[in-house]
């Protein structure tokens, strides 16, 4: 049984149950037949769990979860500006899809742009959808999207 110590710490202390100390609090304590019947009606106690055994020397061990933290110096990344490819982004449109626009209170047909096909300098106005492997971006009707020289997608009010 785990108890909190006087200073907030933990202390392990064995404590016998009332049954182990000979204290019986039911009426079955006075009647041996009732006590025997009650004991036979109880399910057997499950076996106690033991701590996992230590592997024998030379026995393989499987590591399931571990955590590593490291501190070190990393060289500063160099960002290379790409040359402008023009403003027209229609080459990156894959399809048109309906999307619910709350400001319009209806579904609106939107062009779906493939993020990988957008080039530096491309720009377009919303509503539009930009899809890429790990994200989907909704450009709202009053927004303009443009691809900057570092291939970031910049959203601004139209």
**Residue-averaged pLDDT of the chain:** 80
Instruction: Give the model's pLDDT for residue 158.
Output: 83
Using an 8 Å Cβ cutoff, are 119 and 153 in contact? no
Q: How many domains does the chain have?
A: 1
pLDDT band at 22 (very low <50, low <70, confident <90, very high): low
Domain of residue 128 covers 90-157
Instruction: Give the model's pLDDT for residue 132.
Output: 94
Instruction: Give the model's pLDDT for residue 69.
Output: 92
Which range among 23-27, 48-52, 104-108 has the greatest average pLDDT? Answer: 104-108
In sequence order, which ranges of the chain are alpha helices (DSSP H)?
32-41
pLDDT band at 63 (very low <50, low <70, confident <90, very high): confident
Please check whether residue 153 lies inside any domain of the structure.
Answer: yes
Using an 8 Å Cβ cutoff, are 144 and 127 in contact? no
User: Alpha-carbon torsion 89, 90, 93, 97, what sign?
Assistant: positive
Burial class (CB in 10 A: 0-12, 13-18, 19+), 141: middle
Please check whether residue 56 lies inside any domain of the structure.
Answer: no
Please check whether residue 139 lies inside any domain of the structure.
Answer: yes
User: Alpha-carbon torsion 131, 143, 90, 116, what sign?
Assistant: negative
- Mean pLDDT for the stretch of residues 9-35: 53
Please check whether residue 51 lies inside any domain of the structure.
Answer: no
Q: How many CB atoms lie within 10 A of CB 153?
A: 17
Q: Give the three-class secondary structure for 32.
A: helix
Instruction: Give the model's pLDDT for residue 122.
Output: 95
Residue 132: both structure tokens together: 């890429």
Nearest to 155 by CA among 132, 133, 131, 123: 123
Is the model more confident about 100 or about 48?
A: 100
Please check whether residue 119 lies inside any domain of the structure.
Answer: yes
Is the pTM of the predicted complex or chain greater than 0.75?
no
Which range among 1-15, 20-34, 56-70, 120-134 has the greatest average pLDDT? Answer: 120-134
Cα–Cα distance, 110 to 97 (Å, whole number): 5
């Amino acid at each position: 049984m785990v108890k909190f110590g006087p200073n907030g710490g933990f202390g392990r202390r064995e404590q016998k149950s009332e049954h182990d100390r000979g204290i019986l609090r039911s009426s079955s304590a006075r009647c041996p037949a009732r006590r025997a019947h009650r004991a036979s009606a109880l399910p057997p106690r499950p076996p106690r769990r033991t701590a996992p055994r230590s592997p024998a020397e030379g026995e393989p061990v499987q590591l399931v979860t571990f955590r590593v933290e490291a501190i070190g110096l990393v060289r500063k990344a160099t960002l290379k500006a790409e040359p402008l490819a023009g403003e027209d982004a229609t080459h990156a449109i894959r399809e048109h899809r309906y999307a619910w626009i709350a400001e319009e209170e209806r579904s609106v047909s939107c062009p779906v742009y493939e993020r990988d096909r957008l080039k530096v300098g491309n720009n377009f106005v919303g509503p539009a959808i930009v899809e890429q492997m790990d994200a989907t971006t909704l450009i709202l009707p009053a927004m303009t999207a443009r691809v900057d020289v570092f291939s970031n997608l910049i959203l601004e009010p139209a």
